[in-house]
Amino acid sequence: MDRTTHHTRNVAGLVAQRQALLAFLADLSPEAWDREVPGAGGATVKDVVAHLAERYAEALSGTLPPGDQGASDADVPSPAGRGAGDDPAGLLVELDQYATELESHFAERAGERWSLPAVAFGKLGGTSGMGVAGLLLDLHRHIHQISQAVGARVPVPEESRDATAAALAWLVGDKVEAPVQVVLEDGADYVIGSGPSVGVLRTDHDALVAVATGMARPEDMAAEGRWSFTGPRDGREAFEHALATTFGDPEL
């Protein structure tokens, strides 16, 4: 898959998931906004949405070139500079604003870089620092938390699912010492890591992302028939460890 395809898929995934998440949040009751998220130290749905808005703001700042007028303090807020307070309606406006700006800036800036020759693209660091791959995974982790808290699943569009799985492969690839071929439920397959694969993992998009974001353990997915590894035990353990530590120790 070429670089332009990666870029187009990531933007499409972000747009589709933003629209689905905002529509879901807009229908939440005031009581649902104040529900605690399991395993998040007392954080509420409102806190998770606020944190997600901050993540978008941080990623947005990474898409702006040095000297860009849009990079002023007034346009790119810091995590401490939120203005929405505890008002859910204000949070939705803020999240929508930052997400829309990020999608636009990333599409423009990444498009400029992807049009460069491969060597020049590499010297600039590709699109590293723009934070889109990590944001896609963080977004899905927060979606899972919100779904658990309110007892209803936030919709995950196919474009978002596919982009997130690809972003995961990109992020984990540098950490994996023993490459593994991953075969997904729709027949798609790819190798995570560099070099010949030491084993084959058969799973589905949601299970793969759930393990990477710390929302599930491989053994739990295996018990549900959604995680089957063929290959040496040490290869499986090394791969699963790299996958499960993608985020390190997330704040929420």
Kindly report, residue by residue over 39-79, the tens digit of the pLDDT: 888 999 999 999 999 988 887 776 544 433 333 333 333 33
What's the confidence (pLDDT) of residue 215?
82
Q: Domain map of the chain by residue range?
A: 3-164, 174-244
Architecture of the domain delimited by 174-244: 2-Layer Sandwich (3.30)
Pick the CATH number of 3-164 from 3.30.70, 1.25.40, 1.10.3470, 1.20.120: 1.20.120
C-alpha distances in Å from residue 59, one per residue of 14, 139, 142, 237? 12, 12, 16, 32
List, for the chain, all residue ranges whose pLDDT scores fall below the cut of 50.
Answer: 1-4, 64-84, 129-130
Residue 134 contacts residue 243 (beta carbons within 8 Å): no
What's the confidence (pLDDT) of residue 2?
45
DSSP 191: E
Instruction: At 244, list the tokens.
Output: 């499960």
Rounded Cα distance between 140 and 5, Å, is 21
213 three-state secondary structure: coil
Q: What's the whole-number average pLDDT of the chain? A: 80
**Same-fold call for 3-164 versus 174-244:** no
Quick check: pTM over 0.85?
no
